[in-house]
Amino acid sequence: MQLVVARIGRAHGIKGEVTVEVRTDEPELRLGPGAVLATEPADAGPLTIETGRVHSGRLLLRFEGVRDRTAAEALRNTLLIAEVDPAELPEDPEEFYDHQLMDLDVVLADGTEIGRITEITHLPSQDLFIVERPDGSEVMIPFVEEIVTEIDLAEQRAVIAPPPGLIDESQAVIASSRDEEGDGDEAPATGKDA
């Protein structure tokens, strides 16, 4: 199975290095020297990583055969794709690859069906499950321990404990509202004791 592991950014310096936007939790495994990666567009690769280093918080890579800034800049926005065994699991048992989570049934602890995971969105602060409900509507579920209480790959399900309002908007709790601030039923405050 093929997974996108990075996107090539701007050229760095004049010797063929490029910045990369990492899209894998295991860059040391997927983006190490010697790794051969397919590309999108396909005619840009395959690319073999020659060297990698971190500079000012960004990963810089140099590929075999890319020796100058012009060649590096020509790779900009190319996606790097790794071949991954579908049976391979992350080292941490609390981590999952996207392909393992796709199409899992989403249920409440009591077994009530919520829907099926159709997409996973990776945001800077957290990941989101996009869940298609039986009626065709979608709901976004934050992939955080407090809400997603169990991932059971054997049973192909994700068990959730949603806060009020996440699944059913009619259960939403309004924390504050401007409508609650004086609706004309009370006398205005004057600062005097009556």
Asked if 18 and 72 count as a contact pair (C-beta separation under 8 A), the reply is yes
The pLDDT assigned to 175 comes to 54
The pLDDT assigned to 123 comes to 75
7: part of which helix (H) or strand (E)? strand 2-12
The pLDDT assigned to 187 comes to 43
The pLDDT assigned to 153 comes to 86
The structure tokens listed for 9 are 């950014």
The pLDDT assigned to 127 comes to 84
The pLDDT assigned to 184 comes to 46
The structure tokens listed for 66 are 């890319």
CATH 2.40.30.60 domain residues, the chain: 2-83
Determine the residue type at 133.
R
Asked if 15 and 47 count as a contact pair (C-beta separation under 8 A), the reply is no
CATH 2.30.30.240 domain residues, the chain: 98-168
Sheet with 105-108: list strands edge to edge. 138-142, 127-132, 113-122, 105-108, 157-160, 148-152
Where residue 34 falls (left for φ over 0; alpha for ψ -120 to 50; beta otherwise) is: left
Asked if 128 and 117 count as a contact pair (C-beta separation under 8 A), the reply is no
Q: Which residues of the chain have pLDDT under 50?
A: 172, 179-194
Does CATH place domain 2-83 in 2.40.30.60?
A: yes
Instruction: Please tell me what DSSP assigns to residue 74.
Output: T
Q: Which fold has domain 98-168?
A: SH3 type barrels. (2.30.30)
For the chain, what is the total number of helices (H) and then of strands (E)? 3, 12
CA distance 104 to 28: 28
What are the CA-CA distances from residue 165 to residues 143, 159, 174, 190 (Å)? 16, 17, 9, 38
Asked if 90 and 3 count as a contact pair (C-beta separation under 8 A), the reply is no
